[in-house]
Amino acid sequence: MNCPWCAFQGTPRGLHAHLAEAHPEGVRFETRGNRRVYVVECPICHSGYDQAIKPGLDDPEFLVEFEREIRLVGFDMMVNHLLGEHPEQQQEAGSSEPAETTQTND
């Protein structure tokens, strides 16, 4: 699959990890009234999902950890969305497999 933001290519699982690492802003956290939500917006068609985060999360440390997990869930949704809605993102890189250099280093 192709990353919608950059030239990265990989498996859905690889893309998922890449998104979380390289494009964490792809999942946004917003406050609406007294509710926290996270927003996943497709960079291609700009359709968005927003999901409420369970209320009562007052512990900032917990929230940091929680946001990391939510981000993984959010990117999971995004990868599924790309798979379902943007099959052109799944173009295989053809026969350009990484050349394996068989060097014998001593």
Sign of the Cα pseudo-torsion (83, 3, 8, 89, in order): positive
Judged by beta carbon, residue 18 or residue 36, the one nearer Zn ion is 18
In the beta sheet, which residues pair with residue 36?
31, 53
Could you count the other beta carbons within 10 Å of the beta carbon of residue 19? 24
Report the nearest approach of Zn ion to the CB of residue 66 (Å).
Answer: 24
Nearest residue (CB) to Zn ion, 25 versus 106: 25
* Shortest CB 103 distance to Zn ion, Å: 29
Q: How far is the CB of 99 from Zn ion (least distance, A)?
A: 22
Measured between alpha carbons, how far apart are the two ends of the chain, in Å? 37
- Smaller CB distance to Zn ion: residue 59 or 85? 85
Q: Which residues bind Zn ion (CB under 5 A)?
A: 3, 5-6, 8, 22, 42, 44-45, 85
Radius of gyration (Cα) for the chain, nearest Å?
17
